[in-house]
Chains A and B, each alone.
Chain A
Amino acid sequence: QSALTQPPSVSGSPGQSVTISCTGSSGDVGSFNRVSWYQQPPGTAPKLIIYEVTNRPSGVPHRFSGSKSGNTASLTISGLQTEDEADYYCSSYTTINTWVFGGGTKVTVL
């Protein structure tokens, strides 16, 4: 199973919105609403911020939102804040009963 495709980096100024894409195939993103997003600041463990495409775990700010269209899922951070600077990873369940991650996107707050 190939890794999901994410842009290596995105950037934005505080208050702006940024969107990270996560492109898979009909074998993963396109077949299931089981896409998750993780935030990983440097030197820390990943933190789940979106599950099942659009759901936020308790305590995750509302400025994080997820969506999906076809084989591509997206994470949008609205009203970017300095503490949002981190690496972000998507993951998806697959038709062969495994999970696959994206390559990761580094978000820089200018």
Chain B
Amino acid sequence: DVQLVKSGGNLVKPGGSFRLFCAASGFNSSHAWMSWVRQAPGKGLEWVGLIKSQTDGGTTEYAAPMKGRFTISRDDSKNMFYLQMDRLKIEDTAVYYCASGALWDKGTLVIVSS
């Protein structure tokens, strides 16, 4: 099956860090652009950022609220994608999705709370 599977969520204190993993299976993810999208409880979707394929430069782009705090990376040898979140704020509490085109994972809840 073609799918994206992500690591579990967590409860993190404000100012802390957390890393999400997204594993791709069933397709050659080295050519894929991977986006991260989040959804705060009861709210709409918010684009977090993306990483392009290495053939397209492997560069990253971020939404303004995440720039400088979040880092997206990839390891094509492992078909893995990562979202490193630093200096977390309470307002970063959300379900986080990794997504590539029509392929989305089921979402992971990250709670930032003291």
Contact = CB atoms under 8 A, between A and B. Distances in A.
Given A1-B64, A45-B105, A103 B35 contact: no
A64 interface: no
A51 B103 CA distance: 13
Interface stretch (B7-15, B23-31, B39-47, B72-80): B39-47
Interface residues on A, range: 20 to 34
A89 B106 contact: no
A45 B45 contact: no
A104 B102 contact: no
A57 B113 CA distance: 39
Counting chain B residues whose Cβ lies within 8 A of the other chain, the interface size class is 20 to 34
A98 B101 CA distance: 15
Chain B residues touching A, majority SS: strand
Contact of B35 (A45, A57, A99, A104): A99
Given A99-B35, A99-B50, A46 B45 contact: yes
Interface in A64-83: none
Interface in A94-110: 97-104
B107 A100 contact: no
A97 B61 contact: yes
B46 A101 contact: yes
Interface string B80-109: 000000000000000001010110111100
Interface of B: 35, 37, 44-47, 49-50, 61-64, 97, 99, 101-102, 104-107
Q: Which 5 A-B pairs have the closest CB atoms?
A: A104-B44, A48-B102, A99-B47, A101-B45, A57-B102
